[in-house]
Structure 1
Amino acid sequence: MGPNFHLKTLVVAVAAFSVASIGNAAGLDRSGQDITAFLQDGLYAEASYTYIDAKVSGHDNAYIGDDNNGYQQGKKIDDIAESYDFFRYGVKADINDTFSVGILYDEPFGAAADYSGDNNFVAKGDTSATINSVSRGKFANVTEALGAQAFLQGEIDRTTDPELKAALTKQKRDVDIALGATQAELNSKGEGTNVEVRSESITGILGMNFGVNKNFQVYGGPVAQQIQADVKLRGLAYGPATGYTAHLSSGKDYGWLAGLSYSKPEIALKAALTYRSEIDHSIPIHEQYPAVGLEMGSSIDITTPESVNFDFQTGVNPTTLATAKVRYVPWSDFNIVPPLYTAVSKAKYPDGLPLVSYDDDQWVVELGLAKRLTPALAVTGNIGWDSGAGNPVTSLGPIEGYYSAGLGAKYNVTENWAVSAGGKYLWFGDAEGKTPTQDIVSNFEDNDGYILGVKVSYQAQ
């Protein structure tokens, strides 16, 4: 008979890898929606904390003209990535040898970016620069724009030709918006672009073991999720939208989870495939759009994306465990479409513009090894890759995925209690930042970050 790979003997668990397994990933992905706490043997409980610190800096775009892709390196953009942290909790218990139940809490989606300094993402109150930028070089200063405004209004009043009147009215509207944006830039002088997104999720899971040796398990359950956000667009980079502000209040809605797992304890093999559904949110939102003098409260529909996670582990020898994680999220289907912002954009873009959207789907792959050094101590190492969600990408999160390398350790304080700690270094992919109008407004290169995590766990078999 081959060697026994029982996890109890190895003193290692997949959970030791998930301390700092995901963070600052594509789109708004944060926790990776890990369910490995539910996959543990016997009675299991954990509480973990993850801290993310990233450096994301670059240059704004000094180009002024009609080419959306035109780029000329401009002023330095200092680090926009705010440090970020989140918690995860999980409890799982066996009712009998067939049924198991669990409750998981995590913070699956989020963002934290803050622009400062002297660049096109900070309102400088320079009226000449604003009117020149927003009008794409048509007006050098406010005086010229006011002259054009008066001239167009006079022509509108004089003409009796409906088609000419409509064309002149459209031209005047563009001048009006440019002048409104100039005033908004002046009023918000010194303020920088800022975004913060927070979410919380509680998942209830019921699992049922089946098969001759109870090696298979199907599981599923409801998911309750809430999300809130604050967005401030400031500076010349956003053209007429400079000064736009939105607050999305917390709203709770529901989805579901389902999965299938297989285990073979004699070689410490576990494999699980988990699907999470989309969750449709209807959230109160308050918007201000100073360039057009509008402010309103309404509601916004946001659908957080579905996802598929694959978790795998197997014993290599009696003291070594290999692991793999794969995650897929279709971020290309996700967008944020605030009612007022989109309605104003229809003046130039008939279909309207989303505030945030992504071009590509996300893939994450992590491979790891765990090694027992003593009966109570095990160490882990892993490498990872995140595909990102497209390039160019929204200027509110300008990175294109990452490569990562991490180390961790798990120490069994007693037979049942353990402490795990880990860290990961991230090499971010270079990315160009774009606005909803698809204009290239920045370029970010050579950025990195790190993740630290700690976990306390209890297990009784």
Structure 2
Amino acid sequence: MNKIITSAIMVIALSAGAHAGGFERSDQSVAVLFKEGRYLEFAVRAGFPEVDGVATATSPTPGVESGNIAENFVDFYAAFKFDINERFSAAIVYDEPFATDIAYPTSGYFLSGANAELKIRELAGVLQYNLPSSMAVFGGGLSVYGGPRLSYTIANAEIPTSNGYSIDTDNQFGFGFLGGVAWERPELGMRVALTYNSEIKNDLDSTETLANGTVVNGETALDTPQSLTLEFQTGLNPKTLLFGSVRWVEWGDFTIKPPLFSSAAGNPPLAFFPDDTITYRLGLGRRLTEDFSIFGDVSYEPESGGQTGNLTPRDGFLSFGVGGTYDFEKVSVTLGARYALLGDADTVPAPGGPNVAQFRDNSAFFVGARLGFDLN
């Protein structure tokens, strides 16, 4: 059963949130906490999105195509889990959960040459306490866990067609926390874990400029949203595992409003999202031999139906992931891939504004690789 459980965890970490709401690239899973003893893992995730749209009649360039605006990317992940004693265990997790790389090709499109880069790297320390067996529920053990999160934010953007506008920010650290509770029966491959990640507030020192020489130094708020994730798994038989998750993220309150950009353009945000998102995932893992397991899953995020900004032109998705894990004694190697159909989106310059572009029939492809080391 353990090999099947490993496979289920791998598919989540390799490509779970690389296409989810807002600019998520990871679902911030703490599944590594449930590995036995000491365990070390490294992973790399690569994305190849294809996102293009057409300007509408209410835009400055009706009928002009944007070209592919989404850049390819590579993200990294690492985690180390260890036991302190019979009751306490801990993990250190490095992830890159939020990022976006948008670049509009040089063309006749009304956002020609516009680009935006946002990268948020995060280091979390998690302490887990396993409650005494006398407090078991339905034959399963309970544990609680939590700890601090340290984030590092890099952000800049250029919109040449808006009076030569650009913004550069100083890289900044931010602080938050996570907490959760889990129930598990390892002998049956059963586990349910509920994890909360807090909002992390950032007031970035920013420099905004216009083509006419105007320069404004100030602060730009960029707060990553809070989230709640329910992860579950259960063994269907000795060789098959059912797994899944439900994740809520408070994207509806997210905005980026640099002072100069907002004042010069009538107080709109530079970036925003219309609604909170809920992402669903369901999958199966199957052990084919003592050393080799395969897995597959389906993920779905409903379209909100609201208008989106020009730096995030998609709304919901449907994706399919597959992969396999091979164990070499105390080392495991996992490869995974995912294909996502991105939801159609209508973009606006500001919430409630006119529809200036339509993005239809877009997609993304993701691959990942992971090495796991049993250090017991």
**Is TM-score (shorter-chain normalized) higher than 0.5?**
yes
The letter for the 2-side match of 1:34 is S
- What is the aligned counterpart of 1:14 among 8, 13, 26? 8
The reply on whether 1:52 has 2:47 as its aligned counterpart is yes
Q: Distance in 2 between matches of 1:36 and 1:279?
A: 22
Counterparts of residues 11-410 of structure 1 (less than 5 Å): 12-18=6-12, 19-63=14-58, 74-122=63-111, 192-212=113-133, 215-235=141-161, 241-290=162-211, 293-345=213-265, 349=266, 352-387=267-302, 391-410=306-325
CA contact (8 A) 2:59 2:357 kept: no
Equivalent position of 1:436 in the other structure = 350
**1:242-291 Cα distance to aligned partner (Å, 9 max, x none):** 42111122100101110001110121111110001111112111101336
Question: Following TM superposition, by how much is the alpha carbon of 1:96 offset from its aligned partner in structure 2, in angstroms?
Answer: 1.3
- Ranges in structure 2 where 5+ consecutive residues have no aligned partner: none
The letter for the 1-side match of 2:216 is M
CA contact (8 A) 2:11 2:321 kept: no
Question: Following TM superposition, by how much is the alpha carbon of 1:388 offset from its aligned partner in structure 2, in angstroms?
Answer: 5.2
Residues 60, 256 of structure 1: alpha-carbon distance in 2 compared, 3 angstrom cutoff = same
Q: Distance in 2 between matches of 1:118 and 1:460?
A: 54
CA contact (8 A) 1:14 1:36 kept: no
Question: Following TM superposition, by how much is the alpha carbon of 1:22 offset from its aligned partner in structure 2, in angstroms?
Answer: 1.8
Question: Following TM superposition, by how much is the alpha carbon of 1:61 offset from its aligned partner in structure 2, in angstroms?
Answer: 2.6
CA contact (8 A) 2:293 2:326 kept: yes
- Ranges in structure 1 where 5+ consecutive residues have no aligned partner: 1-5, 66-71, 124-191, 236-240
Q: Distance in 1 between matches of 2:153 and 2:203?
A: 10
Equivalent position of 1:451 in the other structure = 366
Question: Following TM superposition, by how much is the alpha carbon of 1:353 offset from its aligned partner in structure 2, in angstroms?
Answer: 2.3
Residues 393, 296 of structure 1: alpha-carbon distance in 2 compared, 3 angstrom cutoff = same
**1:200-249 Cα distance to aligned partner (Å, 9 max, x none):** 000000110003167111000000011111111133xxxxx342111122
Residues 122, 45 of structure 1: alpha-carbon distance in 2 compared, 3 angstrom cutoff = same
CA contact (8 A) 1:115 1:121 kept: no
CA contact (8 A) 1:271 1:310 kept: yes
Residues 13, 41 of structure 1: alpha-carbon distance in 2 compared, 3 angstrom cutoff = farther
Question: Following TM superposition, by how much is the alpha carbon of 1:46 offset from its aligned partner in structure 2, in angstroms?
Answer: 0.9
Equivalent position of 2:334 in the other structure = 420
Q: Distance in 1 between matches of 2:67 and 2:117?
A: 18
The letter for the 2-side match of 1:304 is T
CA contact (8 A) 1:274 1:309 kept: yes
Equivalent position of 1:161 in the other structure = none
CA contact (8 A) 1:121 1:193 kept: no
Question: Following TM superposition, by how much is the alpha carbon of 1:193 offset from its aligned partner in structure 2, in angstroms?
Answer: 0.8
The letter for the 2-side match of 1:355 is L
What is the DSSP-based 3-state SS (H/G/I as helix, E as strand, rest coil) of the residue aligned with 1:332? helix
Residues 63, 15 of structure 1: alpha-carbon distance in 2 compared, 3 angstrom cutoff = same
CA contact (8 A) 2:19 2:340 kept: no
Question: Following TM superposition, by how much is the alpha carbon of 1:393 offset from its aligned partner in structure 2, in angstroms?
Answer: 0.6
Q: Counting strand residues as a fraction of each chain, which structure ranks higher?
A: 2
- Please, which moves more after superposition, 384-393 or 269-278? 384-393
Q: Counting helix residues as a fraction of each chain, which structure ranks higher?
A: 1
**1:29-59 Cα distance to aligned partner (Å, 9 max, x none):** 1112122112222222111000010111121
Residues paired across the two proteins, number? 369
Q: Distance in 1 between matches of 2:59 and 2:234?
A: 57
**1:100-150 Cα distance to aligned partner (Å, 9 max, x none):** 011001011111111114233355xxxxxxxxxxxxxxxxxxxxxxxxxxx
Question: Following TM superposition, by how much is the alpha carbon of 1:11 offset from its aligned partner in structure 2, in angstroms?
Answer: 6.7
What is the DSSP-based 3-state SS (H/G/I as helix, E as strand, rest coil) of the residue aligned with 2:152? strand
TM-score normalized with structure 2 length: 0.93
What is the DSSP-based 3-state SS (H/G/I as helix, E as strand, rest coil) of the residue aligned with 2:109? coil
Question: Following TM superposition, by how much is the alpha carbon of 1:436 offset from its aligned partner in structure 2, in angstroms?
Answer: 2.5
Question: Following TM superposition, by how much is the alpha carbon of 1:198 offset from its aligned partner in structure 2, in angstroms?
Answer: 0.6
What is the DSSP-based 3-state SS (H/G/I as helix, E as strand, rest coil) of the residue aligned with 2:275? coil
Q: Distance in 2 between matches of 1:459 and 1:320?
A: 22
Quick one: percent identity of the two aligned structures?
30
**1:350-376 Cα distance to aligned partner (Å, 9 max, x none):** xx3221111111111111100000000
CA contact (8 A) 1:195 1:231 kept: yes
TM-score normalized with structure 1 length: 0.76
The letter for the 1-side match of 2:126 is I
